[in-house]
Structure 1
């Protein structure tokens, strides 16, 4: 505590109540590991990690910032090894915590849900982080009113080691809002790149590219709610675990569960979607119950292989409702099935999918 009080005094801004301190880890810092610094950390402190490889930690204090040192090159501050409490490399129990510039690698847990970061408190912001080879990238618990924000981060090689589990790069349970922006997702396996049960999901300006992966949905919003999916590059790879859907909306609302998000505006706009899948892929599949209409505008859909159906019913595409009459005029697609992961195969008509093909096909797809 003497060290902590000295640091706090040195950093005080003149206010008698000032107590925030900077706790340095590695290099010439006072702490050898993040876990040691976490035990001493008080609300409002900053924990700075010098370049190096460290084991994980649990952070309980509120308003913490845990970041790489200013002179650390990208990827030079690495958290790996055994997960904490059977959960994650970093377990964030405090509220209003920020993580910046840190790499999380190889998280594996007995239950198959080993995460780079497990968010148990309210409001977590992750910026310029890297996640490689984890079973889950970021896994957020259900916390009412919480906001999870992910900015300019990279996720690759997310895959559960258990055969009966799937790993998601970002998985938000029942929180207020998920915001993902400026981030890159690649090389997923079986699970989804972004899965959100949040009341409001905002996914903007990202690259979600399954060209070298075998993931299922690129984006999964199983309980509906409000959503903005804008200005993303979305790529369905040639070997997906789910053959036929890029963005899934409301797929779990018909399963008889006791919870589902209330309706909210759903806008899918200005995205570029490229499909390398050999069959027919639905860009936006809507199974919300009760029905919650979505609006698709100005999306560029490119079938490098196979073909693309823009949307299911209860979706307005560039001002035109994809309705049952549109479906009747597209009986050629009625045999197509959507296969949610680990859940069997469902006929296209059961989903009410409209046969609305938009966008352009490249020359290779026109043969």
Structure 2
């Protein structure tokens, strides 16, 4: 067994050497623009160097107390080694670690942690313009994971990411949520995990169309949380193949999913809520509703596996 571990360590070291050498040769900083090979000491300097073009900023392993504002272009923010890059504790413009208002952005393998601001809306990402793709990212122990503006042209796609220890309703700006998406064209969230919420909803979105598939919403260790999914303006699309568990410490346990609870901006006719599994933490007995609906429109519900005490649908 020791020989195996030794060989594995040698192999890993050998693989890591070319990567380390590449960064040593690229310049004096951990933020490298892949297309030019130039590196920068700060993330903002790398973003400014990209300007109104399309480029990838590859980030060396490390814990960075930095933030950046993207004003133009299409930028991929990529960890050179997924899971080894953290943007911690710094928010630009009193908003987020990354404030995005270019043409588009993609996040690959980054962790955002410890983001808080005076108004209580500190986020890993604040999307103000353009479209956004997120993959293999972690958002943790902050007031909010991702917060977006309202723009029908926006598209947000999130996959294989984790939202943990997020949300609050204790500040003047109202509630912050693990994921808070405004009135945009479309939101897709797939194969991601929401857990350990600290207030607000796990996923709140006013998007015209939603695709929420194959995710886990684990509220077992949540504190003063509300809905798992809140679509307050109405939405079409599909909520399918997700796993939900509701915890004990809830500010509002009356429903797992809420549809149309605020001003209704979009039709919900034909929304599919199918093949999900929902239950309470072990030992907890209470009554709740899987989908609470304020729209009165036709919602397709089938194949959902619900625990005792959980009503499938309720018009409100």
Length-normalised TM-score, structure 2: 0.84
Match of 2:213 in 1: 204
Asked if residue 311 in structure 1 is aligned to residue 316 in structure 2, the reply is no
Contact residue 23 and residue 47 of structure 1 kept, 8 A: no
Contact residue 98 and residue 126 of structure 1 kept, 8 A: yes
Partner SS for 2:152: coil
Asked if residue 58 in structure 1 is aligned to residue 69 in structure 2, the reply is yes
Match of 2:58 in 1: 48
What do the CA deviations read for 1:150-206 (whole angstroms, capped 9, x no partner)? 110001000338345322111110100010001001000221110010000110000
Match of 1:280 in 2: 287
Between the aligned partners of 1:163 and 1:60, the Cα distance in structure 2 is: 28
Q: CA RMSD in A?
A: 1.8
Which of 238, 252, 258 in structure 2 is aligned with 1:242? 252
Match of 1:333 in 2: none
Partner SS for 2:134: strand
Go from structure 1 to structure 2 and tell me whether the alpha carbon gap of 1:73 and 1:147 turns closer, same or farther (over 3 Å shift): closer
Go from structure 1 to structure 2 and tell me whether the alpha carbon gap of 1:161 and 1:30 turns closer, same or farther (over 3 Å shift): farther
Match of 1:105 in 2: 113
Between the aligned partners of 1:178 and 1:86, the Cα distance in structure 2 is: 25
Between the aligned partners of 1:157 and 1:107, the Cα distance in structure 2 is: 11
Which of 296, 303, 309 in structure 1 is aligned with 2:301? 296
Between the aligned partners of 2:232 and 2:101, the Cα distance in structure 1 is: 26
Partner SS for 1:37: helix
Asked if residue 269 in structure 1 is aligned to residue 274 in structure 2, the reply is yes
Go from structure 1 to structure 2 and tell me whether the alpha carbon gap of 1:186 and 1:108 turns closer, same or farther (over 3 Å shift): same
Structure exhibiting the larger radius of gyration computed from Cα positions:
1
**How big is the shift at 1:261?**
1.5
Asked if residue 78 in structure 1 is aligned to residue 86 in structure 2, the reply is yes
Between the aligned partners of 1:239 and 1:160, the Cα distance in structure 2 is: 14
Higher strand fraction (1 or 2): 2
Instruction: Describe how 1:1-367 pairs up with structure 2 within 5 A.
Output: 22=35, 30-42=39-51, 43-54=53-64, 55-69=66-80, 72-74=81-83, 76-160=84-168, 162-164=170-172, 165-214=174-223, 215-253=225-263, 260-276=265-281, 278-288=285-295, 291-303=296-308, 307-313=309-315, 351=316
Length-normalised TM-score, structure 1: 0.73
Match of 2:16 in 1: none
Contact residue 23 and residue 31 of structure 1 kept, 8 A: no
Between the aligned partners of 2:190 and 2:107, the Cα distance in structure 1 is: 15
Contact residue 62 and residue 86 of structure 2 kept, 8 A: yes
Contact residue 119 and residue 171 of structure 2 kept, 8 A: no
Between the aligned partners of 2:287 and 2:265, the Cα distance in structure 1 is: 29
Between the aligned partners of 2:104 and 2:190, the Cα distance in structure 1 is: 19
Partner SS for 2:41: coil
Structure 2 portions without partners, runs of 5+: 1-25, 27-32
Between the aligned partners of 1:216 and 1:272, the Cα distance in structure 2 is: 18
Moved more, 155-164 or 127-136: 155-164
Between the aligned partners of 1:239 and 1:278, the Cα distance in structure 2 is: 13
Number of equivalenced pairs: 279
Match of 2:21 in 1: none
**How big is the shift at 1:23?**
6.1
Contact residue 135 and residue 161 of structure 1 kept, 8 A: no
**How big is the shift at 1:62?**
2.0
